[in-house]
Amino acid sequence: MDVSYTQLDETLPAPAYVHPGDAGLDLRAAVGGTLEPFERRLVPCGFALAIPDGYAGLVIPRSGLAAKHGISIVNAPGLIDSGYRGEIMVSLINLDGKQAFTFEKGDRIAQLMIIRTVDITLHNTSELPESDRGARGFGSSGVH
């Protein structure tokens, strides 16, 4: 699928897959900074893109940053609607309660997946069809 983008910061590499078959494009920080424990910050990525109708972007954490440093995304996954044309930003958070996390301009901070979406039409009804699960919610399937 072809997706048009505008590089807002020409000093950064274009968003790219690292390996053939990767699902997510790496997003790089357009600025450097430090996140203190439990601090969050909106980090620009230096580009904008035109996601086609019928698709959306999901901004997801990088597993290595999460596992090694406790870095995640506040609203993971972040959702980019197809109509948005502004700069892509990542709402990073440092979940490590003891150590600050410093990142430099150009560091890979998140990933972007483009996924197909489906338009739905909601129908208000007084009763929903039965299912095996029913209304059992959080934790209803147990741990084991």
What residues contact 44, with CB distance under 8 A and at least 6 apart?
Answer: 8, 29, 30, 31, 87, 88, 89
- Name which of 67, 66, 58 is nearest 25 in CA terms: 58
Which letter does DSSP use for residue 134 in this model? T
CA separation for the pair 61, 16 (Å, rounded):
16
pLDDT of residue 43: 98
Residue type, position 24, single letter:
G
With a cut of 70, which residues of the chain have pLDDT below it? none
Q: What is the pTM of this model?
A: 0.88
Q: Which residues pair with 78 in a beta bridge?
A: 59
- Name which of 24, 96, 14 is nearest 47 in CA terms: 14
CA separation for the pair 139, 56 (Å, rounded):
29
pLDDT tens digits for range 98-125: 999 999 999 999 999 999 999 999 999 9
